[in-house]
Chain A
Amino acid sequence: MTTEQPLASYLPASGNLSVSAMLRGMRRQWLWFYTRLFAVILYLPSVFILLFSFNSGIHVAFPLKEWTFDWYIALGRNGALLTAAGNSLKVGVAASLMSTTIGVLGGFALVRYRWPGGQGLTALSMMPLLMPSIIMGISLLVLLRTIGFGNSLTAITIGHIVFCTPLSLSIMMSRFVTLDRTLEEAALDLGANEIGTFLKITLPLSVSAIAASIILCLTASIDEFVIAFFLAGTDVTLPLYIWGQLRFPSRLPEILALGSCMLLGTLALIVVGEMLRRRGAAQNVT
């Protein structure tokens, strides 16, 4: 079924023009048009950030002045920004590896074994996804302060592990649900113990999903603002750096250039992660 037939093709070839067939055709056209418009509007704010990052004028307004790469060149010379980018990368890598490890172990335990109140356990682990970030931010702040932990990059990393774990858990659980159990059972029947089966059968068959989880958590951590806002000490991450610069109108073009890099980077990673996840779901018998 194609979705882009010209309107005329919905008209019956014979002279007997059916109004209802034409209306049906128009409705399909309307939905297709609406979906396209929707997709365009979805990307619109990001497109404006990208467009004006190449504009030589300081103001974000039409008409555009000259095209320039100056703002991107300035990014490379901005020491504070590069430090923030380094911090974001450190926090993101640590948080994504930790939360993916937790997601793999916890997801496997939840999918393979029966637990008292199993459904509730899963729902409870997904709770950080539903909570407003500000509640997460302040409650983690209070918790870390209570156990004598100051605001720092480490505190942000802990916050991001809590924040990213449900993401990883949902990816890993859907992987383990679709994984062909007979492969694991065969290994157990042939004398492997549970740990050996997990390491030699389950994990290798889940590599794509694990990679997808790491990528998703990495982008989520690098882009996360509110939790980091409450847990940050003197060292800032990229979104915090951007937040601090928003007060200064003259810094706006540089922020647009930085924002463009982050938006495009995230989109590229998400597409790669989605491809890996898709491949992982299909990967049952090798």
Chain B
Amino acid sequence: MRSMRQRVGRYLLLTPLGVTSILTVVIALGLITVLSFQRTDPAALFTDFTWAAYQDNVARPLFWRVLGRSLVISALVTIVTIVLAYPVAYFISFKAGQAKHILLVIVSAPFFTSYLLRIFGWKIILGFNGVLNSALLGLGLIDQPLAFLVYNPGAVIIALSHAYLAFAILPIYVSLDRIERALLEAASDLGARPASVFLKIVLPLSAPGVISAAVLIFVPTVGDYITPTLVGGPEGVMVANLIQSAFGKANDWPAGSAMSVATILTVGIPLLILFSLGHRRARSNA
């Protein structure tokens, strides 16, 4: 009797989490999938099942051009961010000594400040009459404001990379910090030069951190809305802008849902394959 009550108690502990995180997210995602097969006419909602939203919105070159651009931008942002963040994570883990914890707080704190404001900061820096142009003009380095700084995919890449820098450091740092220091000493005692210690031991052992950083950057940035809207201009439109306008101005929810489902599948399926491959490899190594 008592064990029965205990088991019920344990399930009660888990219920709120199950409802908010799991149920809400799963049901919400399920609903937009259902909605993506509905007609645009709100009066005819949930009456039949149609591919119309996919035919009219997903199966057109514009959608794939914008989604392709989003994927390329996110891939570049992921690479730039990891390349720039890796040396800092390495320094904090291996060389910072006492300053380790303070440095970690300093480099990760900006990630918790308003995302909107950090992107907005780039808009005022790169703007035509903005901080950078006025500074260069004042220094006499240019005669006219540079127009190519903002409202293009380059500006999106700069602002997004900067926004995710702080986020990339943590997972890389964690995997670097787990590396057994004795391994490195053994390698250098046996005559390995610092460069080969790094390439043959440190880099491979930190790969899990790099991969999780890559996923944590790539997935949210594909669907980023704020950055392309603030600094992207017409050439920097990303898939979130299409989805938003379907839910906003166009008021065509099935269209927005269909484009969301297509985006989730395009990003999600390769990720699932990656995960199951990694899982199988981890299992065969064990």
Contacts and interface: CB of A to CB of B under 8 A. Distances in A.
Interface of A: 1-3, 24, 27-28, 31-32, 34-35, 38-39, 41-46, 48-49, 52, 59-63, 99, 101-103, 105-106, 108-110, 113, 115, 121, 124-128, 130-136, 138-143, 146, 161-162, 165-166, 169, 194-195, 216, 219-220, 223, 225-226, 229-230, 239, 242-243, 246, 256, 259, 262-263, 266-267, 270-271, 274, 278
Nearest to B139: A62
Q: How large is the interface on B (under 10, 10 to 19, 20 to 34, 35 or more residues)?
A: 35 or more
A113 B8 CA distance: 12
A52 B16 contact: no
24 contacts: A1-B95, A3-B95, A3-B99, A28-B95, A35-B96, A38-B84, A45-B162, A48-B121, A60-B131, A61-B133, A61-B134, A102-B16, A109-B13, A125-B22, A127-B21, A133-B220, A133-B223, A135-B223, A138-B243, A165-B21, A194-B6, A223-B114, A242-B116, A256-B124
Given A141-B247, A162-B20, A1 B97 contact: yes
B32 interface: yes
Nearest to B138: A62
Nearest to B7: A113
Contacts of A3: 95-97, 99
The 4 closest A-B pairs by CB, nearest first: A132-B223, A45-B121, A106-B17, A139-B28
B112 A219 contact: yes
Contact of B31 (A62, A103, A142): A142
Contacts, number: 242
Centre residue among A43, A106, A136, A246 by max chain B CB count within 10 A: A106
A105 B129 CA distance: 52
B158 to A, nearest CB: 10
B135 interface: yes
Interface in B101-120: 101, 103, 105-107, 109-110, 112-118, 120
B124 A49 contact: yes
B166 interface: yes
A42 B110 contact: yes
Contacts of A194: 6, 9
B24 A140 contact: yes
B282 interface: no
A259 B114 contact: yes
Contacts of A24: 194
Nearest to B216: A130
